[in-house]
Amino acid sequence: MLIKSRTRSALTEAEATPESSYVSRRTLIKGLGAGLASLAVSSSTWGLDLFGGDNGKEAPRKPLEFSPQKRVPDLMLTPETKVINHNNFYEFGTGKTDPAKNSQGLKIEPWTLTVEGEVAKPATVDVWKLMADIGLEERIYRMRCVEAWSMVIPWVGFELGKFLKRFEPTSRAKYVAFETLYDPEQMPGQRNRYVGGGVDYPYVEGLRMDEAMHPLTILSVGLYGKTLPPQNGAPIRLVVPWKYGFKGIKSIVKIKLVEQMPPTSWNRLAANEYGFYANVNPAVDHPRWSQASERFIGPGGLFAVKRQPTLPFNGYGEEVASLYRNMDLRKFY
Amino acid sequence: MLQLAVHIGALLPLLWLVVAINQGRLGGDPVKELIHYLGMGSIRLLLLTLLVSPLAKSLQFGQLNRLRRPLGLWCFTWASLHFCTWLALDLGLDWSLIGGELVKRTYILLGFSAWLILLAQAITSIPALLRKMGKSWKKLHGLLYVVVLLACWHFWWSVKSGWIEPAIYFAIAVCLLVWRRAAVARWARSFKG
């Protein structure tokens, strides 16, 4: 018999979504078989007025099959148009709307992901084939950016830990290093340091092995029931809900299991501001702003923006705090 | 005529802002966008204000000096909107948070100091006060040289990455101060008595 227990932070969908969009989303997902036309409509509602007539240039997104998340407590989803039009993806520019504008031509098919290093069975996988074969599930997670804004996003993906086990990590694997596509031809930020915010590319990130194997850590291939748009890290990205958003490396091409702590892009750029761990922690300020509270990006306009307290580990402390027992999180920020 | 151009030039972008807010054109995090837009605008107006007298001198076009007051007041208006947006919309008028941020973040303190000076200058820009204050008016309004450095420094320290844009503003500010170094030196000497 399978016994499923739900921890406090596991969100269920009804409470997470304003009812209207919940219903329309369900309808949308139901109608996906015949629904390519409806997708085109839904993606052109809000974001495109921002780009004034860029209509039709948006990269197409495919519907995904996945098991929806069950019920969830009092959180409101960030509208899809905001999730896909407010991004940090410096390879496509440092402004929040730059990625949506500049990334639509990114060639995401085919896409391969190489897993290597301290594994018994290194291999390169076809991400689109993987997406079709692996069992996908919905994970509605809070997302907290280090810049003190937050969203609630319904990701679609699979557990990183289960995926890594396929390659049989050796006992020497202590950390997991991730790497984003390096392709200056396609990514203006990699061609020009000014556009790319002075980051050294390719963008790299890392997790400790136990963080990577934690069931909350996922590789996401979609959001709002469809494949990821390029600006959100298509076709495959990392989501670690208890860490600041910049840990969620986008458009991954390589995962390497290693013995030593790998370098991470933001840590290399400003080590005093962005640590390796980057756990969401209201008690540890960023040097230039307080992390005690955050602006939640939800439905509504300018005057509806709500400032809310930030939760330790972004609300996932019950599940993950034990990973950091005996660690001084002021030092290992 | 020129004055009218200044008023229109400083007001139109604010009207555009109202439209943009109503249409949701400020993106997913409109508060941040708004703060940046207003902040950048006030730095530009500040640089324009400082440009007036050296330009009037080198063009021998004294009429231009009449633009200093409206430009300065518009700069104060934009800076005040920038500050109020931060107070009300970003920090939600949470006074303990505001106080903490002012004390803890040097770049916010720099911006706040710049705004306080602008406030004093805006109040004393009333013609009657100008006459009444005499020499001390010149001392107070010479502080604009300090304000421009504070504002650029505030911008420099507030960006997350990429120093090029603030560096450009800093360079323009320094060029302007160098251009009018004689006036700056005179102002500095006025404190010695």
Does the CB of B94 have a partner CB in chain A at under 8 Å? Answer: yes
Instruction: Name which of B77, B89, B74, B73 is nearest B34 in CA terms.
Output: B89
Question: Looking at residue B24, what is its pLDDT?
Answer: 75
Question: Looking at residue A17, what is its pLDDT?
Answer: 53
Question: Looking at residue A54, what is its pLDDT?
Answer: 45
Mutate to test the interface with B, among A45, A149, A302 (most CBs of B within 10 A): A302
Helix (H) or strand (E) holding B83: helix B68-85
Cβ contact, residue pair A290, B107, below 8 Å: no
**What mean pLDDT comes out for the span A76-101?**
93
Does the CB of A26 have a partner CB in chain B at under 8 Å? Answer: no
Tens digit of each residue's pLDDT (9 = 90 or more) over B72-90? 999 999 999 999 999 999 9
Tens digit of each residue's pLDDT (9 = 90 or more) over A275-323? 999 999 999 999 889 999 999 999 877 777 788 999 999 999 999 999 9
Question: Looking at residue A304, what is its pLDDT?
Answer: 77
Q: For tokens 């300065």, what's the residue?
A: B72
> Which is more confidently placed, B93 or A312?
A312
Question: What is the dihedral angle through the alpha carbons of B97, B110, A278, A72, rounded to the nearest 10 degrees?
Answer: 40
> Which phi and psi angles does A230 have, rounded to 5°?
-55, -40
Whether the pLDDT of residue A56 is over 80: the answer is: no
Question: Looking at residue A3, what is its pLDDT?
Answer: 53
Tens digit of each residue's pLDDT (9 = 90 or more) over A174-201? 999 999 999 999 999 999 988 998 899 9
Q: For tokens 């063009």, what's the residue?
A: B59
3-state secondary structure string, A294-327?
EEECCCCCHHHCEEEECCHHHHCHHHHHHHHCCC
Please, which pLDDT band fits residue A72 given cuts at 50, 70 and 90? Answer: low
Question: Looking at residue B193, what is its pLDDT?
Answer: 63
Please, which pLDDT band fits residue A57 given cuts at 50, 70 and 90? Answer: confident
Shortest Cα distance from A86 to chain B (angstroms)? 5
Please, which pLDDT band fits residue A75 given cuts at 50, 70 and 90? Answer: confident
Whether the pLDDT of residue A33 is over 80: the answer is: no
Tens digit of each residue's pLDDT (9 = 90 or more) over A203-236? 999 999 999 999 999 999 999 999 999 999 999 9
Instruction: Report chain B's terminal Cα–Cα distance, integer Å.
Output: 40
Question: Looking at residue B168, what is its pLDDT?
Answer: 96
Nearest to A94 among B101, B107, B162 (CB): B162
Mutate to test the interface with A, among B19, B85, B161 (most CBs of A within 10 A): B161
**What mean pLDDT comes out for the span A150-160?**
97
* Long-range own/partner contacts, residues A326-331 (CB < 8 A, 24 or more apart): A329/A277, A329/A279, A329/A281, A329/A283, A329/A284, A330/A283, A330/A284
Q: How far is CA B61 from the centre of its chain?
A: 24
Q: Which of the residue ranges A102-111, B27-36, B73-82 would you say has the lowest mean pLDDT?
A: B27-36
> Which is more confidently placed, A324 or B127?
A324
The b-or-e profile of B73-87 (16+ CB within 10 A means b, else e) is bbbbbbbbbbbebbe
Q: Count of alpha carbons within 13 Å of A216, Cβ hemisphere only? A: 27
Question: Looking at residue A24, what is its pLDDT?
Answer: 46
Tokens of B57: 């001198």
Question: Looking at residue A73, what is its pLDDT?
Answer: 57
What are the Cα distances from residue A125, in Å, to A58, A69, A84, A110, B21? 26, 27, 26, 11, 45
**What mean pLDDT comes out for the span A60-77?**
85
Question: Looking at residue B183, what is its pLDDT?
Answer: 93
Question: Looking at residue A55, what is its pLDDT?
Answer: 45
Most confident among A26-30, A104-108, B29-33 (mean pLDDT):
A104-108
Question: Looking at residue A70, what is its pLDDT?
Answer: 77
Q: What mean pLDDT value characterizes chain A?
A: 86
Question: Looking at residue A114, what is its pLDDT?
Answer: 98
Does the CB of A198 have a partner CB in chain B at under 8 Å? Answer: yes
**Cβ-Cβ contacts under 8 Å for B192 (sequence gap 6 or more):** none
Residue spans of alpha helices (H) in B124-143? 127-133, 135-142
The model's pTM is: 0.81
Cβ contact, residue pair B89, A303, below 8 Å: yes
Q: Which chain B residues touch A288 with a CB distance below 8 Å?
A: 105, 107, 157-158
Please, which pLDDT band fits residue A43 given cuts at 50, 70 and 90? Answer: very low
Tens digit of each residue's pLDDT (9 = 90 or more) over B118-174? 999 999 999 899 899 989 999 999 999 999 999 999 999 988 777 889 999 999 999
